[in-house]
Amino acid sequence: MNATEVTRQLLPPSSKWLLSINTLFAGASALSNTFLNIYLWKFLQSVEQIAIYNFYIFLFSAIGYTIAGWIAKKSDRLYTLRLGVAILALFYILIISLGSQVISLYVLLGMLQGIGTGFFWLSYNVLVFEVTEPETRDQYNGANGFLFAIATMAAPLLAGRVLSTLPIKGYTIIFTISFALFLTAVLLTWLLKPKAGPPSFDLYAGFSPREHKNLWRKMLSMSFAMGFREGTLSFLPFLLVFMVTRDELTASRYLLFTSGGSLIAYYVVKRYLTNTRRITFVTTAAFMLGLSVLLLLFEVNKLSLFTFGIANALFTPLLVIPYSCLTFDVMGQLPEAVHRKVEYIVIREALVNSGRCLSILAMIGLQLIVSASLSLKLTFLLVGLTPLIAMFLFRRTNEAFHSL
């Protein structure tokens, strides 16, 4: 019996619906969110303001996680999942309606998107923790990443075609399709079973558990490092591709190539990642991601951006999936993991989003003190060094976990 057959037997049917919901969410986000930064840049004409917009997304995502955690403990994690998708659907309705008025409201829109994102991912992470076990976690996350990559590969290509054919109405069409996908994802949540838990919500217990406190702090340190890397990478490379080429179709091809790289990487993860191979995957990814920024340190152009994007897509899953799996493994060893999983996830995401916010603030700070060209190179240098730090923290955490 192969690993795939074992996974199918051990994972409950609800995991398939969870995978479907996240795939729809990924498609809706990829169809609109990546092009949203370009849409806003056309009005704002400022990388710094786009960075501020993303800063507020991450800041309010952490706040959204906290509010959603409190609601989930008082009611059920499915309610916050539905609320999250509904908030994001409302966000895209506002984007469609506001048009050029986004110039004055982009900070408020970033806040709204952050809250919706925090609501969705809090519930999703709790559900993943519930439907997976240590022996199936690597395969589940690999399968989820594989489906995520398919959705993010198809959506931008469709978006690029629409935008190149209908440059004025194209964004409205894209945001409308995204709204429909979010709505479908909400409807699918009724196929998941509600599950009530203890109503108490104790963030201090989530930050400082009674047992394995040092192990959890190591995990949180890595979460901060992972977030720092993701902060600027969530929007900067793709935005730079458009700024260099001034062409949405070329930007969509960039996303197509990078999504194709992710598809290959997630297949490798799904097929070959095991608990014993996590260190090998993370070490390989850290060094390759560090090398991927070298071209950008010389010149930021179409070639260097495409090369970086493809390398980043090929090796990021080899870092992210073992990290995600180890996080849930560590959480499973913490006191009252079943009852405190919401608090543990909220605290972890607070560290991840703190890292993301600091990353963006560092980029903005560099732009204020050095030239635009040098600030970009220094930003990518920081991005290149962070995976090596994450690798070191992963090794420490993994060693401490297996010594329990």
Q: Which of 36-50, 68-82, 121-135, 284-298 has the highest mean pLDDT?
A: 284-298
Question: Is 9 a residue whose pLDDT tops 60?
Answer: no
Q: How confident is the model at residue 126 (pLDDT cuts 50, 70, 90)?
A: confident
Distances (CA, A) of 87 to 90, 92, 109, 304: 5, 9, 11, 37
Indicate the DSSP class of residue 193.
P
pLDDT at 61 (0 to 100): 94
Question: Is 102 a residue whose pLDDT tops 80?
Answer: no
What CATH class has 13-192+209-402?
mainly alpha
Instruction: State percent of the chain over pLDDT 90.
Output: 31
Q: Which of 15-19, 255-259, 350-354 has the highest mean pLDDT?
A: 350-354
Q: Give CA–CA dist 358/55, Å, rounded.
A: 9
Domain boundaries, given as residue ranges, for the chain: 13-192+209-402
Instruction: State percent of the chain over pLDDT 70.
Output: 91
Question: Is 108 a residue whose pLDDT tops 80?
Answer: yes
Q: Which residues contact 208 (CB under 8 A, 6 or more apart)?
A: none
Dihedral of the CA atoms 134, 138, 139, 140 (nearest 10)?
A: 80
Q: How confident is the model at residue 67 (pLDDT cuts 50, 70, 90)?
A: very high
Q: How confident is the model at residue 287 (pLDDT cuts 50, 70, 90)?
A: very high
Looking at 273-371, list the stretches that DSSP marks H as alpha helix, in order from N- to C-terminal side.
278-291, 294-298, 302-333, 337-369
- Listed residue (325, 268, 380, 367) closest to 47, CA to CA: 367
Which amino acid belongs to residue 177? I
Q: Give CA–CA dist 10/264, Å, rounded.
A: 25
Which one has a higher pLDDT value, 113 or 247? 113
pLDDT at 254 (0 to 100): 87
Count of positions (residues) in the chain? 404
CB 219 within 8 Å of CB 327 = yes
Looking at 45-169, list the stretches that DSSP marks H as alpha helix, in order from N- to C-terminal side.
47-74, 77-98, 102-131, 137-165
**219-260 tens-digit pLDDT:** 999 999 999 999 999 889 988 988 888 877 788 788 888 888
- Listed residue (354, 311, 343) closest to 222, CA to CA: 354
Question: Is 160 a residue whose pLDDT tops 50?
Answer: yes
Q: Which of 147-161, 179-193, 270-284 has the highest mean pLDDT?
A: 270-284
Q: Give CA–CA dist 207/121, Å, rounded.
A: 19
- Show the tokens assigned to 64: 């959204």
Which one has a higher pLDDT value, 402 or 98? 402
Task: Report the mean per-residue pLDDT for the chain.
Answer: 84
CB 357 within 8 Å of CB 59 = yes
Tell the burial category of 165 from Cβ atoms under 10 Å away from its Cβ (0-12, 13-18, 19+): exposed
10-19, 87-96, 385-394: segment of lowest average pLDDT: 10-19
79-83, 159-163, 377-381: segment of lowest average pLDDT: 159-163
Instruction: Give the residue-averaged pLDDT of 27-56.
Output: 81
Which one has a higher pLDDT value, 310 or 133? 310
Coil, strand, or helix at residue 101? Answer: helix
For 9-48, give the DSSP string.
HHS-THHHHHHHHHHHHHHHHHHHHHHHHHHHHHHH--HH
Angle 99-186-146 from CA coordinates, rounded to 5°? 90
Instruction: Give the residue-averaged pLDDT of 194-210.
Output: 79
Question: Is 1 a residue whose pLDDT tops 60?
Answer: no
Question: Is 386 a residue whose pLDDT tops 90?
Answer: yes
pLDDT at 14 (0 to 100): 66
